[in-house]
Every structure is written in structure tokens, then in C-alpha cells.
Chain A
Amino acid sequence: DSGVTQTPKHLITATGQRVTLRCSPRSGDLSVYWYQQSLDQGLQFLIQYYNGEERAKGNILERFSAQQFPDLHSELNLSSLELGDSALYFCASSSGQERGTEAFFGQGTRLTVV
């Protein structure tokens, strides 16, 4: 158990809909990262938050947004969903910004868009 909790584990929704994925980081970790894992794109970094503020952005679509709340949990919002958004979405957390800091991953949310 990594200590990172993601909910829900599975999500099936229709095209055009909006969903929210939730992540609770390990206790005390200030950084949260979101990654998308798909068969054709592999593991892609989406976005990072540190103590409530956005720190880095990767290949995140404009239809996607995220935030980190004062209690440090994070949500990834996906809207106007398309079939191609079907993927496994991982959240990871780490304790700080030091070089070599390990990131701990949740079990992921599998999103299926039909």
C-alpha cells in the first residue's frame, strides 16, 4: 500500500460527459502529480501541484483541469469526454522538491468512455 488513495477505481461514462477523479496523497506529502496511461501514448505527465499551487503542466488538454485543496487532496476534472480519453489515470505524491525524491503512486482510476 503506497498510502496514495484514488477514487473511484473504475468509471464508465458516455461521450460528452464530465467526470471528477479524486486523489488523497500520502500523509504529509505536499506535491501531487497526475499522469495518464494509455496504450498508444504510454505514461504521460499531466499536471503537478505543490501545497495548493500549480507547479508544472504537461500534456494536459484544455478540457481537463485540476486543483489541490487546503487539505492537500487533489481532483482532476475531465469534461466533454471523448472516446480517446479512455485511459488509466494515476495520481502520485511526494514529500518535497529535493532531487531524487521518490513519488508514490495510487492504484489509478480506469476511465472508460463509451
Chain B
Amino acid sequence: GNSVTQMEGPVTLSEEAFLTINCTYTATGYPSLFWYVQYPGEGLQLLLKATKADDKGSNKGFEATYRKETTSFHLEKGSVQVSDSAVYFCALQAAGNKLTFGGGTRVLVKP
């Protein structure tokens, strides 16, 4: 079946540091890939997505590239802010549009 593996947290960074969260997936066919973010006490919000190989999703300074050859969709941001502290979820969307999520990575950015 489909599955998503992402690095366990928590990841603790200083403000303006570089952030990478690794995500790899297993799926049949050609899934769409997403990163969702969950701020404390809130639901999930779409951060970015990519629907085919070599697509790059970007939003709010975050980027991720759909790499079919390595089945990966790593999230990166060049300079994090305290406001980026949240839990980040990598997800894949296969037939039928239901999402399969990774376990989530908690990121804490300190001033």
C-alpha cells in the first residue's frame, strides 16, 4: 500500500537557520505530493504541492521538488522565523484523492 516516511522531530533551530525536512514515499502509480502545516490548536493548512515529477512547489519561502527517481519530496526553507514553529506533514494523494500522511515533524524555531 501507499506510505509516507518523514524524519522524526523535534527539530530545533535558531532564527534565520536553514530548514530541511526529509520525506520519502511509497506508492503505486503517480501520486500528487503535499506538505501541510499544523500550527498549535489549529487544523492542517496546505503549504505547497506538486502533482508530477520534477514539479517544484513553493509558498512562503518554503520549497519542495517532486523527485520520482528517489521517491522524495523534501521540504526546505532558507531562513526560518519563529512564526514557522509548527508541525509539518508530508502527504501523498493517490486515486480517489484521500491523503496518506507521514508521521509529522515538529519544528521549533528559537529567537
Q: Is B106 an interface residue (CB 8 A)?
A: no
Interface mask (A57-85 → B, CB under 8 Å = 1, otherwise 0): 01000000000000000000000000000
Q: Summarize B's interface: helix, strand, loop or mixed.
A: strand
Q: Is A24 an interface residue (CB 8 A)?
A: no
Q: Which of B13-21, B73-81, B95-103 contacts the other chain? A: B95-103
Interface mask (A7-40 → B, CB under 8 Å = 1, otherwise 0): 0000000000000000000000001010100000
User: Which one of A35, A55, A90 lies within 8 Å of B96 (CB-CB)?
Assistant: A55
Q: Is B93 an interface residue (CB 8 A)?
A: yes
In the complex, what's the smallest C-beta–C-beta distance from A4 to chain B, in angstroms? 8
Tell which of A42, A48, A103 has the most Cβ of chain B within 10 Å: A103
Tell me which residues across on chain A come within 8 A of B36, comparing CB atoms: 105
Across the two chains, which residue of chain B brings its CB closest to A45? B98
State whether A107 touches B42 (Cβ < 8 A).
yes
Q: Which residues of A approach B to under 8 Å, CB–CB?
A: 2, 4, 31, 33, 35, 42-43, 45, 48, 55-56, 58, 90, 92, 94, 97, 99-108
